[in-house]
Amino acid sequence: MKLKDLEFKKFISAEKIHAKIDDLATQINSDYKDKTPLFLPILNGSFMFASDLLKEIKIPCRVSFVKVASYSGTASTGQLKTLIGHEESLFNQDILIIEDIVDTGLTLQKIIEELRGLGAKSVEAVTLLRKKTAREKDIDVKYVGFDLEQEFVLGYGLDYDGLGRNHQDIYKQVIKG
C-alpha cells in the first residue's frame, strides 16, 4: 500500500489485534474490579483501540476522550501541549489513559504529570503499541499490547500525515535499500 511518498506492508492483522485486546481487557477487568475507573482515550490515534477495548470492559467505568496536539510526520516534535477536552472531574479518580502508541514517551509523561497535578487518585496507562525508545527510557506503561522496534506504523487509528487511520489492520513502513 502506498500513502503519499511512503510504501507500507501489512504487519499486525485485525485478528491478532482483537486477541490482544481480549487479554488486555481481562487484566484490566481483574485489576480494577473494586474500582470505577475513568478511561481517558487520547484522540485522534486511539479512537479504534479505545472503542474495541472498552467493549470488553465489564466493570463500571466512565470514558472521556481527550486530546494532546503534539506530532506531525514520522518523528516526534517534542512540541507538547496541554490536555484538552475532559468533561469529567479528574480529582480523586482512578484514571486509565488509553494510547495508541508510545514512542519517545514524552506525550504520556506529560499527560501523567498533568493528571497527578489535577489530583487524580491513581494514573496508569494502556497502550496498544510501544516502541523501543519507550522501553529503553523505562516509560511507565502498565498495560502494553505489542512491543515494536522503531518501525513507523499506521492503520487502526494511527496515521501518516493524517492518512491511513481507517484501516482495520496495522501496516508498517517498508524501508528500501
**Residues forming the site for ligand IMP (CB under 6 A):** 45, 71, 76, 99-108, 152-154, 158-159
In the complex, least distance from residue 68 CB atom to ligand IMP, rounded to whole angstroms:
8
Is residue 169 within 8 Å of residue 11, measured between CB atoms?
A: yes
In the complex, least distance from residue 27 CB atom to ligand IMP, rounded to whole angstroms:
21
Alpha carbon separation from 37 to 24, 30, 121, 158, 173 (Å, rounded): 15, 12, 10, 25, 36
**Which positions are catalytic?**
103
The residue (of 78 and 119) whose beta carbon lies closer to ligand IMP is: 78
The residue (of 37 and 105) whose beta carbon lies closer to ligand IMP is: 105
In the complex, least distance from residue 92 CB atom to ligand IMP, rounded to whole angstroms:
27
d(CA 25, CA 72): 30
